[in-house]
A and B are shown apart, each in its own frame.
Chain A
């Protein structure tokens, strides 16, 4: 069975700083997808970034980038130039082809003014 582990329950950083959220996962699959979702207080789960396991190049979306280490089964999210609007719960998630999405327990991120 696949598992996703987020070891940082809560983090705080100053506005404009860079922050890295950690995630590790366990799977025997070779082809899968990894995601970071953002969940603000409105509860709407929003996709931040996705990574295909067979791609070696790390995904980047504007201020958000990942460090994907397939052998180590590690998938961290880096937020550069953090903004107050980045304050939210962040969930790391795993999905194998056409299957359910498995979430970690989340990291609560506070961006401080």
Chain B
């Protein structure tokens, strides 16, 4: 089973520029998460999708961040314009839907995109 794929692995941009990250979850996984992990901290949820619908985006800075999940498969996260404090690792994770009433708990993570804003 292929894992969660993310690209690019690294990105360096100047402040006020825009950037986009891409995530391809495990095939068939209905739930997709984007997390922001600032150096030395735990991951913080930015947005959670269930298929192509947004479940939780309460911590997404909507004035500059946007995310979409077309057709309930791949997802992109965009920052426009970037600020210095956006420097972080952006992690994507996916989890399958419950089967036969059983709650599936294991989320699979990609290797993340390290963003540096200078």
Contact = CB atoms under 8 A, between A and B. Distances in A.
Interface stretch (B12-20, B65-73, B106-114): B106-114
Interface residues of A, number: 23
Interface in A35-56: 35, 42-47, 50
Given A43-B111, A45-B91, A105 B42 contact: yes
B111 A100 contact: no
A102 B45 CA distance: 8
Contacts of A46: 109
B105 A103 contact: no
A33 interface: yes
B105 A43 contact: no
A50 B89 contact: no
A6 to B, nearest CB: 8
Contacts of A6: 42
Contact of A100 (B56, B89, B106): B56
B98 A98 contact: yes
Interface string B35-72: 10000111111001000000110000000000000000
A59 B33 CA distance: 26
Contacts of B82: none
Interface in A14-52: 33, 35, 42-47, 50
A33 B111 contact: no
Interface of B: 31, 33, 35, 40-45, 48, 55-56, 89, 91, 93, 98, 103, 105-107, 109-112, 114
